[in-house]
């Protein structure tokens, strides 16, 4: 719905907001704004209906579970941690658990939050919550019919190397594996807790 009430957003002022595009997953707002320097302008904001959640899954051999799929927007194949959308009314943890089970058939006993990150904060309000999960049991995956997924297990250091050399570019995966690697380094160097949370 269009909104004509002026709204202060930090040093910005939004004079008018209208919906430029909308579907079940996102809304694109076209905002008429006054910039911090006082000049008029426009701003496009992509609002996501769902929260994003992802999980670094570690088995007893310190291997990471990755999910591979072709990403339409990039026209490229992508290896990622299990991740997906969390609808309103579902917690980030419940959504991550559901996505993990659906995509891979894996369930985990122990879950810890790694990070909360905004995925593209210059144009989007999308928030992601990232977890690490251990204590695994294996079942049958039930991905959505529209998804063509494959899974693979890699040693943690190999998955980390993929985030560093560009073979993994998915931001949730890069951040989650990197955050876990930093936490482990801190643990080995200082004795401080290795996983936040």
At residue 64, the pLDDT reads 98
C-alpha span between 163 and 78 (Å, rounded): 12
At residue 146, the pLDDT reads 80
Angle at 115 between CA 110 and CA 116, to 5 degrees: 125
DSSP state of 58: B
Taking a C-beta distance cutoff of 8 angstroms, is the pair 74, 60 a contact? no
At residue 170, the pLDDT reads 97
End-to-end Cα, the chain, rounded Å: 39
CA 45 to chain centre: 18
Domain 51-190 grouped into CATH 3.90.79.10: yes
Give domain limits for the chain.
Answer: 7-48, 51-190
What is the rounded (10 degree) CA torsion for 133, 139, 145, 151? 60
At residue 196, the pLDDT reads 47
pLDDT digits (tens), the chain, 197 positions: 566 678 999 999 999 999 999 999 999 999 999 999 999 999 999 999 999 999 999 999 999 999 999 999 999 999 999 999 999 999 999 999 999 999 999 999 999 999 999 999 999 999 999 999 999 999 999 988 788 899 999 999 999 999 999 999 999 999 999 999 999 999 888 765 555 44
At residue 132, the pLDDT reads 98
C-alpha span between 140 and 151 (Å, rounded): 12
Two tokens at 88?
Answer: 């309103």
At residue 195, the pLDDT reads 54
- What secondary structure does DSSP assign to 116-152, as a single string? EEES-TTTB--EEEEEEEEEEEE------TT---EEE
At residue 197, the pLDDT reads 42
**Segments in the chain forming alpha helices (H):** 92-104, 156-165, 171-190
Burial (CB count within 10 angstroms: exposed 0-12, middle 13-18, buried 19+), residue 76:
exposed
At residue 189, the pLDDT reads 81
């Amino acid at each position: 719905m269009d909104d004509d009430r002026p709204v202060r957003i930090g040093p910005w002022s939004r004079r008018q907001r209208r919906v430029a595009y909308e579907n079940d997953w996102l809304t694109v707002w076209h905002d008429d704004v006054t910039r911090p320097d006082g000049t008029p302008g426009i701003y496009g904001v992509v609002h996501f209906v769902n929260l994003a959640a992802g999980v670094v899954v570690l088995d007893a051999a310190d291997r990471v579970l990755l999910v591979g799929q072709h990403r339409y927007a990039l026209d490229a194949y992508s290896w990622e941690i299990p991740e997906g959308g969390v609808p309103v009314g579902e917690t980030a943890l419940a959504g991550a658990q559901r996505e993990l089970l659906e995509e891979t058939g894996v369930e985990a006993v122990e879950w810890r939050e790694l990070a909360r990150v905004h995925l593209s904060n210059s144009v989007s309000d999308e928030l992601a919550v990232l977890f690490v999960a251990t204590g695994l049991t294996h079942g049958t995956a039930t991905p959505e019919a529209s998804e063509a997924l494959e899974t693979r297990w890699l040693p943690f250091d190999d998955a980390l190397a993929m985030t560093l050399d560009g073979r993994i570019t998915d931001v949730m995966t890069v951040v989650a594996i990197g955050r876990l690697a930093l936490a482990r380094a801190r643990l080995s160097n200082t004795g401080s807790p290795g996983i936040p949370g």
